A and B are shown apart, each in its own frame.
Chain A
Amino acid sequence: MANELDWHRNKSGFAALLGPPLGWFLLFFAVPMAVVWAYSFGTNSGIADIEISGTFANYARALEPLYLGILGKSLAFAALATLICLIVAFPVALAISFAPPQLKTWLLIGVMLPFWTNLLIRTYALIAILRDEGLLNMALTSAFGWAGVGPLAIMNSNMAVMIGLVYVHLPFMVLPLYAALDRLDRSLIEAALDLGAGHVRAIFTIVVPLAVPGILSGLLLTFIPVLGSYLAPDLLGGPDSQMIANVIERQFKRANDWPFGAALAFLLMYLTLFGIAAQAMMQRKRPVD
């Protein structure tokens, strides 16, 4: 951009503007993160003392079958939840982006509103639905009770966690998909129909390929928060549906093994950064427009 100012031309102004946010970021984000990172190479040397010994033991322990299993399960959960979100969100995003303007605004607000409501409240609300004596089971029993369908034990199971993860993260997927589909030139779809494709074929041969950047960013935007989910497995899941965030929490709040917790937290952080880097690379390879 032509009108940008070289910072040398107004050093004090530059410092006054960038200084406070950068300082806050460094002191209250970068430093704490760096400390966690340092702790991940530390050992417990006393009740409250931690020695940064440069050991990789914590990471090695994280790769033991027990924790590797939880990590693998977290990844599998996150992948499945993300996939379900994609399948549910795509038609919704498609419908929104092709809706008339008035309806479009309302549908968008409708999707975004849960996104802004308290995560804890939403998870709590889900409990009332999924409980053994909850609404879902009441509906099931009253509708299919004659056929011998009794209450299902959904709460405290992997199933409940999966429902919770999808419920909470659906908007994360709808919004980037919508952004991608809304940019699509409608005459491309008309051209496909004109050339003999039906609606379904037009969507799969033209709309989906062109929405790939949006799909990728939706996958990433959903996958990262799902992977680090704490509340859904904690409140909805059973003992065998713990995800990595729950294990991290336990190391800090109960087991008091901070170095190991730090290593697990940074494993999660590495995965996140890897995902972002991968997406950035893919975006560079695919010049937009």
Chain B
Amino acid sequence: MSKEKVAVYISKELYERVKKFIETQGGFSTIEEFVEFVLNEVISEEPTSYTMSKEDEEKVKERLRALGYI
């Protein structure tokens, strides 16, 4: 994986809240480590979006139209 990083903005207050939490909780040595962990968790929960070609979508719509659904 590339080591290159990008900065995202969060409010100072939220930063402090996260910092305080991981300090009392333990398990993470830096905020960045925690943020990365949380984001990876959340993202892996997202179902992989299935992709459909424009033609396929048109075909399905056509059928739905013919059946009177739309």
Q: State whether these chains interact.
A: no
Question: Which B residues contact A (CB, under 8 angstroms)?
Answer: none
